[in-house]
Amino acid sequence: MFLNKNILLFLLTLALVGCGLFGPTYKKPDTNAPASWNSRDYLSKSSNTNLPELAWWTKFNDPQLSYLIESALQNNNNIQIAVGNVKAAAGQLKQVEYSWIPNISAIAGYTNATANLMNPGYGVGLLPSYSLNVFQLINSTKYAKANLAAVKAAKDAMRLMVITQTSGGYFAYLGQDYLLTLQKQLVSDLADLLRLSKIEYTKGLISLYTLQSYEQQYEKAVAEIPIIQNNVVKAQNALRLLMNQNPGEIKRGIAFMNIKSDSIIPVNLPSKVLLNRPDVQQSEQQLIAANANVGVATSTFFPTVSLTDAAGFASPQLNQLFTNGNEFWNSQIAVSMPILSFSTYGQIEQAKGGYYAAYYNYIQTVRSAFAAVDNDLSAHDKFIRSLKTQFKNYDSSKIAYDLAKISYEKGLYSYPTLLSNKVTMDNASILVTQSKIAQLNTIVQLYQDLAGGYMVGESAAK
């Protein structure tokens, strides 16, 4: 079939006008976002703070923590992989957008004297080729744009994860390092208590049962030390891996017990959290892409316009290479559409199935986001209360030890009794440290699920 250029323009215009009639229209799912959070946290307050751009870790006033996070954001391999994925998705979009432009091939030849005695020389030509399904291209562009947005959101999610892992890992490192000091002190005090108890047992002052209980406490405390030491090494290596470094030491910043853990946390409303969280953004863009993919499959039924033109130039001499020859434009245009292509129906059903899965993945992501933040608010509130109780327990044990020390100095208490009070205080101190590690983790987790900080430094980079 041969068509002139006016007919081609008419077909293209008709296709552009009618494309909205054949592509599925995307409609954002209704997630019924709650008006407020169910759980209450007395150290949080509702705020319109732009959490993605909030460097919340600076509230701890620890330059080492800030350095680790900045270094991880710059050097982390997983972030760089995500950046590469963004570049690839951007290239895919350009590939689709540029498919509107015809492919042009160059042809060249040489005519010798035998073949053309009167006009030997060189010949060149341009051969444009064009194959276009307007409906498919429009939907493919929608798909590529949504895919690019989803991949960018995945990169933001990775940045958020790296911030979480770095801050949480740093707090765990400091906590385990301090816990190791406390555990060694406990072992030392238990060793003294066991030594004195053996003397008391030989004198018949205590029973074998009491002696064995001291031995059990000592052995249990000793067994904890290599576990804690291993935790310290793992925490250090995890932090260095996040910064794309080989295993080694990590500099310590602020003393663990000086880390402020009872600061007010700004909390956005549920609807704002959905806008902030990159995983929710990613899942919605995947849904948009899946919706567009249905249109890509459906558009197979619509016409494809093909065009092949030849533009030739000939010259008897090389310096006349671009002089017009005898042949100029010969256009050949064809419009085709499938009559029977039953496999296309399978492609459409496959695309619809992908949309169905993406729809419920989006709903699940939203529901999980709501649940995660609500859980975090509850955990942060309860763990800070638990930490306060552990501090009270430690204060009571310290008062008891101080009183026992006075009584020992006055000759009213034996040294083993004083050591027993010291061991009780050591254990209380360990419980405080463990509780604070857990409580700091709730802060980190809450900021992650509120999507805090992942845009820090991004604006400057752009």
pLDDT in tens, 14-58: 444 444 445 678 888 888 888 889 888 888 888 888 999 999 999
Length of the chain (residues) = 462
CA distances (Å), 217 to each of 205, 269, 436, in order?
Answer: 19, 49, 24
Residue 367: predicted pLDDT: 93
Average pLDDT in the chain: 83
pLDDT (mean) for 243-258: 95
Is 4 inside a domain boundary?
no
Higher-confidence position of 212 and 101: 212
pLDDT band at 330 (very low <50, low <70, confident <90, very high): very low
pLDDT (mean) for 72-100: 90
Is 330 inside a domain boundary?
no
Is 117 inside a domain boundary?
no
Contact 425, 398 (CB under 8 A): yes
Q: Is the pLDDT of residue 303 over 70?
A: no
State how many domains the chain has.
1
CA distances (Å), 422 to each of 187, 397, 406, in order?
Answer: 11, 8, 13
Question: What is the distance between the alpha carbons of residues 135 and 302, in angstroms, rounded to a whole number?
Answer: 7
Summarised one tens digit per residue, pLDDT across range 335-346 is 555 555 666 678
Is 324 inside a domain boundary?
no
Burial of 76: CB neighbours in 10 Å, binned 0-12, 13-18, 19+: buried
Structure-token match 């709730």, residue found: 442
Q: Is the pLDDT of residue 392 over 60?
A: yes
Q: What is the layout of strands, in order, in the sheet containing 304-315? A: 103-111, 121-132, 304-315, 324-336
CA distances (Å), 292 to each of 284, 297, 351, 454, in order?
Answer: 12, 9, 9, 29
Give, as one character, the DSSP assignment of residue 58: G
Question: What is the distance between the alpha carbons of residues 199 and 201, in angstroms, rounded to a whole number?
Answer: 5
Residue 430's nearest CA partner among 253, 118, 217, 211 is 217
Residue 356's nearest CA partner among 426, 294, 414, 429 is 294
Structural domain boundaries enclosing 277: 23-102+134-302+344-461
Ranking 124-138, 159-173, 429-443 by mean pLDDT, the lowest is: 124-138
Higher-confidence position of 100 and 84: 84
Sign for the pseudo-dihedral over CA of 447, 448, 452, 457: positive
β pairing state of 121-132 and 44-46: unpaired
Residue 352: predicted pLDDT: 87
Structure-token match 């999610």, residue found: 157
3-state class (DSSP) for residue 131: strand
Q: Is the pLDDT of residue 372 over 90?
A: yes
Residue 138: predicted pLDDT: 80
Residues 6+ apart with CB under 8 A from 313: 123, 124, 125, 321, 322, 323, 324, 325
Both ends of the chain: CA-CA distance in Å? 50
Is 107 inside a domain boundary?
no
Is 15 inside a domain boundary?
no
HSE-CB of 203 using CA atoms within 13 angstroms? 6
**% of the chain exceeding 90 in pLDDT:** 56
Is 10 inside a domain boundary?
no
Question: What is the distance between the alpha carbons of residues 268 and 36, in angstroms, rounded to a whole number?
Answer: 9
Q: Is the pLDDT of residue 324 over 50?
A: no
Q: Angle CA(85)–CA(364)–CA(157) in degrees, nearest 5?
A: 30
pLDDT band at 198 (very low <50, low <70, confident <90, very high): very high
Higher-confidence position of 351 and 227: 227
Question: What is the distance between the alpha carbons of residues 43 and 353, in angstroms, rounded to a whole number?
Answer: 45
Contact 313, 333 (CB under 8 A): no
Higher-confidence position of 325 and 90: 90
CA distances (Å), 127 to each of 106, 130, 329, 330, in order?
Answer: 6, 10, 10, 10
Residue 308: predicted pLDDT: 55
pLDDT (mean) for 296-314: 57
3-state class (DSSP) for residue 71: helix
Residue 26: predicted pLDDT: 85
Structure-token match 């306060």, residue found: 388
Residue 301: predicted pLDDT: 59
Q: Is the pLDDT of residue 326 over 50?
A: no
pTM of the predicted structure, to 2 decimals: 0.82
Q: Is the pLDDT of residue 66 over 60?
A: yes
Is 328 inside a domain boundary?
no
Q: Is the pLDDT of residue 251 over 90?
A: yes
Residue 259: predicted pLDDT: 94
Residue 59: predicted pLDDT: 93
**% of the chain exceeding 70 in pLDDT:** 76
CATH of the domain at 164: 1.20.1600.10
pLDDT band at 109 (very low <50, low <70, confident <90, very high): low
Question: What is the distance between the alpha carbons of residues 372 and 430, in angstroms, rounded to a whole number?
Answer: 29
